[in-house]
Structure 1
Amino acid sequence: MLAYVGLGSNLGDRAGYLLQALSLLSRLPETRLLRLSPVYETDPVGPPQPPYLNLVAEVDTGLPPQRLLEALLEIERALGRERKERWGPRTIDLDLLLYGDWVLEEEGLEVPHPRLHQRAFVLVPLADLIPERRHPVLGHTFAELLALLDRKGVRPFVL
């Protein structure tokens, strides 16, 4: 199954955390890392904090969505993620954005990610990878959804 994972970091060695997370993601069972979006530096959402580095990874996985989410949370813990405040700073953040065209709403898991179409820091890199793919719920392509958003605060970044 093709899945899309959003990655972000705004504490410490941001690029280093992204690279470590990608390395761990590529080693998950039944999972292959296929493509990466460009990296963007983005203004934070929430309380005052440093800017983020964000990208989206396309993976082919045999893991069911709940197990993939659990693996993403394990990667976050391995890289020192502490969940202290909502939308607070973090060493690494991994979000399951899409899992095929599935629509799921379970305890602790909602796919597609409920706010992905509202956040330029997710939608810009996702549209880089799959501009013509349609959002499973909204029906618009990701390029169309991106055209509705303000890209202010999203800048290309070279690792």
Structure 2
Amino acid sequence: MKELILLLGSNLGAREEYLSSAREMISCSLCNILASSSVYKSEAFGYQSDNGYLNQVVVGLCDVEAELVLKKIHEIEDVLGRVRKAGVRFSDRTIDIDILYYGDMILNSPELTIPHPQIDKRLFVLEPLSELFPYKKDPRTGKKIQEMVNSLRKC
């Protein structure tokens, strides 16, 4: 069993309900959630939007292949009304679920990168992550989560 750390985000509709539904669906179809961060508010990242995001980190233990984790996450997003537009990377969404870490795995494939490649550049990821794992070291950079938070806050 590996520790699976996910980021949930929502900026459309009943945002808190989407986060709750995502947690429930993850627990039922992927892994039992052992801990959840508080819910954090943030602005849209990478595009302009009038809708603010709610973000939360959840952690569970999982024993399936990383590619199957991604497939299950996409199924959950689809059920919760996530719309993907061809060629559009950032847009408003009912739910977004990102794999941040999967144990100490380092994976770089066309479909999936673990750890998430932008963790160290996104305070909306690092803040809820540091609530649960301030001393966790990123397997790619060796930096502790709290160090990454402190670096971004200085900017």
TM bucket (normalised to shorter chain) is: over 0.9
Secondary structure in 1 matching 2:126 = helix
Q: What are the within-5 Å matches in structure 2 for residues 10-159 of structure 1? A: 10-29=11-30, 31-49=31-49, 50-84=51-85, 85-150=88-153
Unaligned runs of 5+ in 1: 153-159
1:6 correspondence with 2:7: yes
Residue identity (%): 37
Change (3 A) 1:151 1:119: farther
Q: 1:120–1:151: 8 Å Cα contact kept in structure 2?
A: no
More strand by share: 1
Q: Is the 8 A contact 1:39 1:53 kept in 2?
A: yes
TM-score by length of 1: 0.91
In the alignment, the residues of structure 1 paired with residue 16 and residue 154 of structure 2 have an alpha-carbon distance, to the nearest angstrom, of 21
Instruction: Determine which structure has the larger helix proportion and give its number.
Output: 2
State how far apart, in whole Å, the 2-side matches of 1:83 and 1:120 are. 24
The Cα of 1:112 is off from its aligned counterpart by: 0.2
**TM-score, normalised with respect to structure 2:** 0.93
> What stretches of structure 1 move > 6 A for 4+ residues in a row?
none
Q: Matched residues in 1 for 2:40 and 2:128: separation?
A: 8
C-alpha displacement of 1:58: 0.5
Unaligned runs of 5+ in 2: none
Q: Deviations over 1:16-68 (max 9, x none)?
A: 10000001000025x21100011001011132211000000001111111111
Letter in 1 for 2:9: G
**C-alpha offsets along residues 55-112 of structure 1, whole Å, 9 cap, x if unaligned?**
0000111111111111011000000100123211000000011000110011210000
How many residues align structurally? 151
Distance in 1 between residues matched to 2:80 and 2:153, nearest whole Å: 31
Code of the aligned partner of 1:79? L
Q: Give the RMSD, CA atoms, in angstroms.
A: 1.4
